[in-house]
Structure 1
Amino acid sequence: MEEQQSPFQAAIKPGLTIGLVSLALTFIAYFIDSSLLGSAWFGLVAIVLFFVLMMYFGKQYRTELGGFMTFGTAFNFSFVAIVISGLVGLIGQILLFQVIDPSLAGVLADQGFETQLSIMESFGQNPDSMDPALLEEMRSSAANSFTLSGQLMAFGFSLIVYAIIALILGAILKKRDKSLDY
């Protein structure tokens, strides 16, 4: 009889696959037009693709387990796969922003700052009436998110978001064997 993989072992390949797909999508967008990386629709496409792939690999693992999976197993599988995917993405983004094109960080930071200002205007706040020191703090905060330390801190905070996403995926992917009910 073939031995089943633990959720941790089973999550390595899907995590690497999702991370590499995400990285490929990022680099394709970068080579087409680097401003795409800061657009909302690009982020939406990436999130939808991420969830589709996680659901696919999660259902595939559940099938390997005989069609049933507990919530804990589904959560562990999802969380490990997401963390591995995130690490692959982090490495790729560090390469992109620190080695391949260090000027890209400034362009995306400016784009993000302009987006923040337009959102504020849509809520009735006039950026011209704001304290210049606050505007400069917003601009530097946007720029700091692309530094090496900013990227590492963002990944650390992302672990909380990853856990929440894994909880949701665990609830979706779990399936109990009702034949065992008395």
Structure 2
Amino acid sequence: MEEQAQSPFQAAIKPGITMGLIALALTYIAYFVDSTLLATWWFGLGFLVIFFGLIIYFGKQYRTELGGFMSFGTAFNFSFLTMIVSGLVSLVGQLLLFQVIDPDLGSVLADITFENSMKMMESFGGNPDSLSPEMLDEMRKSSSDPYTLSGQLKGFGFGLIAYAIIALILGAILKKRDKSLDY
């Protein structure tokens, strides 16, 4: 009897957990080396590159398991579900980091983010001194929101939208149709 291939959901669980654990490991390593790394743009960009690379790697493995061909829908579902599982694993680890292990880390990173925003404003020719105190308070609050419990949960919710967009791109990269069926 022929062995059936896994559904995209079944196939996405192991890579999703693996990617989530890799993301957590990198986050915790950065935290222990220099926690300010977590507020740098290039650290996030590095995460994104690793994220894309791993999904493509795991997606090609899944496509091979399916016989070398995969429809766009299957590729999209696999990519999206992998990112959701990875995101959930990362969310749990980050909640532990920001809410249990080091509750003060969020305010430290928020201050760094706020300072970086002010520097960026100056580099584009803006004058931070011209901002009203209310605007500065709002900027400071928006810098700290991503590190709060509700902010992290909202971030995951908005992340689902980003995951869907990324999954569309990855679905287009990973799909491969069997051209022999065209005739």
Give the TM-score of the pair, scaled to structure 1: 0.98
Instruction: Write the distance in 2 (CA, Å) between the matches of 1:155 and 1:44.
Output: 17
Q: What residue is the counterpart of 2:173 in the other structure?
A: 172
SS in 1 for 2:125: coil
Q: Secondary structure, in 3 states, of the residue corresponding to 1:94? A: helix
Q: Which moved more, 1:20-29 or 1:143-152?
A: 143-152
Q: Distance in 2 between matches of 1:159 and 1:44?
A: 18
Q: Over aligned residue pairs, what C-alpha RMSD do you find? A: 0.7
The equivalent residue for 1:24 is 25
Q: CA deviation at 1:141?
A: 1.5
Q: CA deviation at 1:123?
A: 1.5
Give the Cα separation in 2 of the matches to 1:141 and 1:46.
Answer: 22
1:65 matched residue in structure 2: 66
Q: Where does residue 126 of structure 2 map in the other structure?
A: 125
The CA deviation at 1:134 is 0.3
1:22-171 equivalences in 2 (<5 Å): 22-171=23-172
Q: 1:144: Cα distance to partner?
A: 2.0
SS in 2 for 1:33: helix
Q: State the Cα distance separating 1:21 from its structure 2 match.
A: 0.3
**Deviation at 1:126?**
0.2
Deviation at 1:51, TM superposition (A): 0.8
**Distance in structure 1 (CA, Å) of the matches to 2:146 and 2:69:** 41
- Match for 1:19: what amino acid? G
Cα distance between partner residues in 1 of 2:150 and 2:91: 12
Cα separation, 2, equivalents of 1:50 and 1:95: 21
Q: CA deviation at 1:4?
A: 0.9
Question: Shift in Å at residue 164 of structure 1?
Answer: 0.1
Q: Structure 1 unaligned runs (5+)?
A: none
Alignment: residue pair count: 182
Task: Could you list the structure 1 runs, at least 4 aligned residues long, displaced by more than 4 angstroms after superposition.
Answer: none
Structure 2 segments unaligned to the other structure (5+ residues) = none
Distance 1:106 1:46 in 2: 22
Give CA deviations for 1:86-123 in whole Å, capped at 9, x if unaligned.
11111111000000001100110001111111111122
1:63 shift after superposition: 0.2
